[in-house]
């Protein structure tokens, strides 16, 4: 692995919420001690069901949300509690591309204005130079300069997402957080945008943190993957090892729904359907947070919380992960209903 351009240590985000008629307060455990690192020019995917904390993680990284504790380092600089000056520097290091490009672009600003905004805010070049730079950026994402005077509603969904990507590139960030960047697009356009992101990664030396629930996409683009459940990472592995063997029962259930590329092996795998919903992040279960839905739970799982620890080539949060036969392959596991 190359030197990390992004390093997150023990990141916590708790939201206090009212919980009773007499001013009682509860805490939503959105993130609980998340650590990861992203190398230069690498793609790291964070996956999990809705409410697992992956979007909160993305928002903490680009400082749309203040973390409760923990640390974030970008290009070697600690940006956890930035001063006012440092806060202005952060967008030069990290940018975000959101799921819905229509919502992330100002409908009253032309495409040229939207892409030029970061350049203007960071005082890059004269007005004429910024216009030239906008044309270059649009060209690099496959859009014609004739679109510059248009408004977002005049563009297709794929074109709008390309504009959002061009805007994210404007000030030359090292890291781009891609928060479900293709899930709002037509299937035919999704592959084009993913190929564009791959090309831009090579051309600009970018590192990507992909937040997604699209497990096929993860297998195609990621160098490493972290699976999150109720605010915690339960498995973190290089993608090659993860493809070969999944070690956490939750990851196994999540990925059992993904079609296999190899048709010979596609039919020999059963989908694991977990029972119940994800528990409330206001009161995560005692012991292992996954025990209320885990097909392999034992008594210890209800009382003792497993640590995220090294098991061979990865990190796993499960009491039984040292057993090489655990969890059984889905072909032999009983289907859960
Ligand atoms: Fe399942 Fe127990 Fe492992 Fe948690 S610790 S994933 S409940 S087997």
Per-residue confidence (pLDDT) for residue 222, from 0 to 100? 96
Give the least confident one: 104-113, 155-164, 184-193: 184-193
- Residue 16 has phi, psi (to 5 degrees) of -70, 135
Ligand 1 close to Cβ of residue 234 (< 6 A)? no
Ligand 1 close to Cβ of residue 319 (< 6 A)? yes
Per-residue confidence (pLDDT) for residue 240, from 0 to 100? 95
Ligand 1 close to Cβ of residue 297 (< 6 A)? yes
Among 319, 323, 328, name the best residue to mutate to test ligand 1's pocket (greatest count of ligand atoms within 8 A of Cβ): 319
Q: Say which CATH superfamily domain 6-93+173-188+201-316 falls into.
A: P-loop containing nucleotide triphosphate hydrolases (3.40.50.300)
Per-residue confidence (pLDDT) for residue 263, from 0 to 100? 54
Indicate the pLDDT class of residue 257, thresholds 50, 70 and 90.
Answer: confident
Among 247, 290, 300, name the best residue to mutate to test ligand 1's pocket (greatest count of ligand atoms within 8 A of Cβ): 290
CB atoms within 10 A of CB 150: 15
Q: Whose CA is nearest to atom 8 of ligand 1?
A: 297
Q: Which atom of ligand 1 is nearest to the CA of 327?
A: 8
**Residues whose CB falls within 8 Å of the CB of residue 166, separated by 6 or more in sequence, listed in order:** 115, 134, 137, 138, 140, 141, 143
In this predicted structure, the answer to whether residue 261 has a pLDDT above a threshold of 80 is: no
Ligand 1 close to Cβ of residue 320 (< 6 A)? yes
In this predicted structure, the answer to whether residue 335 has a pLDDT above a threshold of 50 is: no
CB atoms within 10 A of CB 334: 10
Mean pLDDT across the chain, nearest whole number? 91
Distance from residue 82's CA to the centre of ligand 1 (Å): 38
Mean pLDDT, rounded, for 309-320: 97
Indicate the pLDDT class of residue 266, thresholds 50, 70 and 90.
Answer: low
In this predicted structure, the answer to whether residue 264 has a pLDDT above a threshold of 70 is: no
Tell me: the pLDDT tens digits for 84-121? 888 888 999 999 999 888 788 999 999 999 999 999 98
What is the domain partition of the chain in residue ranges?
6-93+173-188+201-316, 108-172
Q: Which atom of ligand 1 is nearest to the CA of 288?
A: 4
Ligand 1 close to Cβ of residue 148 (< 6 A)? no
Tell me how far apart the alpha carbons of residues 22 and 202 are, in angstroms, rounded to a whole number: 56
Mean pLDDT, rounded, for 310-316: 96
Structure tokens of 171? 């000030």
What is the separation of C-alpha 49 from the centre of its chain, rounded to a whole number of angstroms?
12
Mean pLDDT, rounded, for 6-17: 96
Q: Whose CA is nearest to atom 7 of ligand 1?
A: 291
Structure tokens of 263? 């048709």
Per-residue confidence (pLDDT) for residue 336, from 0 to 100? 45
Q: Report the DSSP beta bridge partners of residue 208.
A: 43, 176
Mean pLDDT, rounded, for 67-92: 92
Ligand 1 close to Cβ of residue 288 (< 6 A)? yes
């Amino acid at each position: 692995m190359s030197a990390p351009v992004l390093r997150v240590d023990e990141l916590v985000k708790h939201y206090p919420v009212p919980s009773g008629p007499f001013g009682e307060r509860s805490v939503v455990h959105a993130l609980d001690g998340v650590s990861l690192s992203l190398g230069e020019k690498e793609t790291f995917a964070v996956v999990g069901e809705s409410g697992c904390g992956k979007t909160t993680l993305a928002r903490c990284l680009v400082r749309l949300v203040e973390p409760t504790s923990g640390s974030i380092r970008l290009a070697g600089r600690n940006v956890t509690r930035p001063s006012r000056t440092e806060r202005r520097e952060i967008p030069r290091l990290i940018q975000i591309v959101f799921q819905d490009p229509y919502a992330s672009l100002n409908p009253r600003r032309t495409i040229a204005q939207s892409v030029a905004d970061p350049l203007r805010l960071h005082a890059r070049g004269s007005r004429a130079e910024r216009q030239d730079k906008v044309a270059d950026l649009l060209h690099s994402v496959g859009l014609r300069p004739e679109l510059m005077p248009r408004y977002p509603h005049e563009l297709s969904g794929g074109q709008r997402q390309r504009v959002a990507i061009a805007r994210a590139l404007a000030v030359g960030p090292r890291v781009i957080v891609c928060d479900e960047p293709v899930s709002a697009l037509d299937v035919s356009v999704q592959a084009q945008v993913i190929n564009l992101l791959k090309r831009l990664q090579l051309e600009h030396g970018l590192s990507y943190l992909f937040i997604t629930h699209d497990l096929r996409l993860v297998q195609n683009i990621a160098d490493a993957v972290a699976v999150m459940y109720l605010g915690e990472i339960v498995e973190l592995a290089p993608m090659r090892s993860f493809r070969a063997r999944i070690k956490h029962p939750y990851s196994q259930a999540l990925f059992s729904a993904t079609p296999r590329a190899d048709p010979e092996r596609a039919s020999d795998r059963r989908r694991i359907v977990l029972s119940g919903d994800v528990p409330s992040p206001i009161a995560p279960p005692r012991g292992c947070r996954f025990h209320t839905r885990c097909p392999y739970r034992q008594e210890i799982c209800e009382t003792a919380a497993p640590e995220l620890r090294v098991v061979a080539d990865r990190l796993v949060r499960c009491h039984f992960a040292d057993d090489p036969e655990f969890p059984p392959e889905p072909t032999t596991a009983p289907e859960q209903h």
